[in-house]
Structure 1
Amino acid sequence: MSSPLISGIQQVGVGVQNVPEAWQWYRRVLGFDVPVFDDKAEAPLMTPYTGGKVHQRHAALAINMAGGGGLEIWSFTSRTSQPANFKLELGDLGINAVRFKAPDVKMAHEWVKSKSKEAVGPLSSLPEGEGFWGNDPYGNIFQITSDTSWFQKTGHAVGGVAGVVVGVSDVDKSLAFYRNLLEPMEIVYDKTGVFEDLPTSISGQRFRRVLLRKHFTPEGAFAKLLGNIQIELIQALDRTPKKLFENRYWGDCGYIHLCFDTLDMATLKTKIQAQGYPFTVDSEKSFGMESAAGRFAYVEDPDGTLIELVETHKLPILKKIGWFLDIQKRKTNKPLPDWMLKLLGLSRVKD
């Protein structure tokens, strides 16, 4: 079996109108309190998705040291980030929700209810296990579920990003795309029907739901921190779904992209382009984000949902003393030692 080309979910991009305000909420309620970068600059390579113009932006990448992917909290500064002009319904095309993981789902449920003023759904049985749905203050849906991959105990009731729920128009087409991108992976369930756990305002609506899981493998510098990948594909069967970013820019309000930590960008590019999925953006060389750097690229899933791929080249381990890790100089693809990753937590922001 060939080596995996993706080690985990690096982050999910969430477009907001005020980065500091949104990051404070994600810190206090969901535990994303360790900054990797906090950067204000132009986004010159993203003009295919920003109306052909270079726009300025503010982006902060924050992680939860319990394990899981991070959140890239993002806002335009050269214009006002625009919300959708309709209410998202599950099954609309794009990233419908982020799946956060929790070591104890019941404890996480009580924590989020006590800390958030937003709507929090009841604990309910999911097609696999137990979990609940909630909303952030910015109109985004999230789900909290269990997971088996953890980096360390932090005292947070909620961990990092375990995955996403993606609305698709044809599960089978999307399944082929994500399988090709993430192999090896497994199909955990494939179910069709009316699901009582889903927070939808359309009663009796039928869906097809498929959960994909890529288990942690000890390959990639950040594999232990990132853990498993869970992606649920959801197809609305009784209506024509809307496209979440129709007539809007990448970076506008909502979940703007799903980003995978990539181990060998050149090989991955050859592989997925051979399957008919070209890179729509490719930095081709290292691109800096404050004190982090790497090669990044974008590819679209069959419905145009943006998938970001990042091959990390440089990461700040301890910014206070100017210690940066040059990933390109490593002669091994094994995970970084736990003690080194734990040093990231020393830059934790406390409210």
Structure 2
Amino acid sequence: MGKFITGIQQVGIGVKDACEAKHLYKVLFGMDVLIFEDKAAAALMTRYTGTEVHHRHAILSLNMAGGGGFEIWQFTSREPVKPAMLPRLGDLGIFAVKIKSRDVQAAHSYFSGLDNVKLSAIYTSPDDRPHFWLTDPYGNHFNIVEGDEWFKTDRGICGGVVGAVIGVSDMDKAQHFYKSVLGIDEVVYSGEAPMHDVPPEEPAGAHCKRILLKKQVANKGAFSKLLGAVQIELIQNTELTPQKIYDNRYWGDCGFIHICFDALDMDSLKSNSTKSGYCFTVDSANSFDMGEAAGRFCYVEDPDGTLIELVETHKVPVLKKFGWYLNLKKRKEKGHKRLPDWVIGMMALNKIR
């Protein structure tokens, strides 16, 4: 189960202007390393785009402090659609992305100096750790939490993606999916109570079932040290009739469109997922070219239809200026060993300008 994934590779964020967004997230969260930028048709995703093939502009950026990155995604063949109303805590889907920080207080002070974001107060989580919420100019929520491990220690106060807050309709079914299919099975906290540590403009005190699941840093996988641990917080708001965040909209429209996990053995992961009752809905089967990167990608849905992407990376740019790309398919015989730190560190030279 957990042996099939290493960490969160990226979270997909649908936007109206990908170029604007890549610079915004560089400033906010230090996502300044460009892994790929690609314009093409999303031909395999018609199940989620109204049975039509739509074109898109996709950008994958990372923060080399560690954690997952952002896949910034913009429709170019249609106007991206915003939700009719902002997601509420407990609505079904990815409500917020968790960003790790070395110093939560310092991060709060930094963001307080920016005029294009909204901040909550600093709260204490059920496991007694400081955290706060940030809402970006597009209305997306981010949960800034303490980070426990880092790839580069000379970076800013924030790292990359460590997890997500996901609204669910049935806590037992949701736990079964994230534990049995993805292997995120360590329970950090679990309970049912009024929730007061909420984002700006979200009403406090709603009665919620709440559980934080964690997967420790993997000891194998080319990028496992960079990606780090995984935290998935499931929220079931028992006072709310939940709506699907992407109801009547397409995958790729504005907001958090998917969570993408780095997969080690896609065939075994697919078999395990099917046995657990969750069949893959999309499977590229072979290596899919994303311009400067390539891999096999698949999708599976959690019990409420939240989209989980799984990627087995085949090619990744290390130093694009000199044409240096890693072919990870050739490394399988090495047992999915971690790449040397210096090799991953070279990726930092591919900057967003």
TM-score tier by shorter-chain length is: over 0.9
Aligned ranges 1:140-219 → 2 under 5 Å: 140-183=140-183, 185-199=185-199, 201-219=202-220
Q: CA deviation at 1:118?
A: 1.5
Q: Which residue of 2 aligns with 1:273?
A: 274
Q: Which residue of 2 aligns with 1:230?
A: 231
Residues 1:336 and 2:339 are matched in the alignment: yes
Distance 2:226 2:187 in 1: 23
Q: CA deviation at 1:185?
A: 2.8
Distance 1:253 1:295 in 2: 25
Distance 1:334 1:224 in 2: 11
Q: CA deviation at 1:113?
A: 1.8
Aligned ranges 1:317-332 → 2 under 5 Å: 317-330=318-331, 331-332=333-334
Give the SS at the match of 1:320: helix
Deviations 1:266-303 (A, max 9, x none): 00000101111011000000001011000000000000
Distance 1:37 1:217 in 2: 24
Residues 1:27 and 2:26 are matched in the alignment: yes
Q: Do the aligned residues in 2 keep the contact of 1:221 with 1:334 (CA within 8 Å)?
A: yes
TM-score (norm 1): 0.97
Distance 2:121 2:2 in 1: 40
Q: CA deviation at 1:3?
A: 7.1
Distance 1:231 1:61 in 2: 21
Q: CA deviation at 1:203?
A: 4.3
Distance 1:119 1:130 in 2: 18
Give the SS at the match of 1:238: coil
Aligned ranges 1:75-94 → 2 under 5 Å: 75-94=74-93
1:205 aligned partner, one-letter code: A
Distance 1:202 1:3 in 2: 36
Give the SS at the match of 2:79: coil
1:33 aligned partner, one-letter code: D
Give the SS at the match of 1:59: strand
Q: Which residue of 2 aligns with 1:288?
A: 289
Cα 1:203/1:109, change in 2 over 3 Å: closer
Q: Which residue of 2 aligns with 1:10?
A: 9
Distance 1:119 1:104 in 2: 19
2:191 aligned partner, one-letter code: K
Q: CA deviation at 1:221?
A: 0.2
Q: Which residue of 2 aligns with 1:345?
A: 348
Give the SS at the match of 2:3: coil
Distance 1:102 1:292 in 2: 28
Q: CA deviation at 1:248?
A: 0.4
TM-score (norm 2): 0.97
1:248 aligned partner, one-letter code: R
Give the SS at the match of 1:95: strand
Segment of structure 1 superposing worse, 140-149 or 42-51: 140-149
2:100 aligned partner, one-letter code: K
Structure 1 residues not aligned, in runs of 5+: none
Distance 2:155 2:215 in 1: 26
Q: Which residue of 2 aligns with 1:254?
A: 255
Deviations 1:238-261 (A, max 9, x none): 121110001100000000000000
Aligned ranges 1:33-182 → 2 under 5 Å: 33-128=32-127, 129-182=129-182
Cα 1:173/1:3, change in 2 over 3 Å: closer
2:272 aligned partner, one-letter code: K
Q: CA deviation at 1:17?
A: 0.3
Cα 1:345/1:116, change in 2 over 3 Å: farther
Distance 1:204 1:348 in 2: 43
Q: Do the aligned residues in 1 keep the contact of 2:102 with 2:146 (CA within 8 Å)?
A: yes
Q: CA deviation at 1:12?
A: 0.3
Q: CA deviation at 1:115?
A: 3.3
Q: Do the aligned residues in 1 keep the contact of 2:90 with 2:236 (CA within 8 Å)?
A: yes
Q: Do the aligned residues in 2 keep the contact of 1:4 with 1:184 (CA within 8 Å)?
A: no
Equivalent pairs: percent with the same residue?
Answer: 50
In the alignment of these two chains, the number of paired residues is 349
Give the SS at the match of 2:159: coil
1:154 aligned partner, one-letter code: D
Runs of 4+ in 1 over 4 A off after TM superposition: none
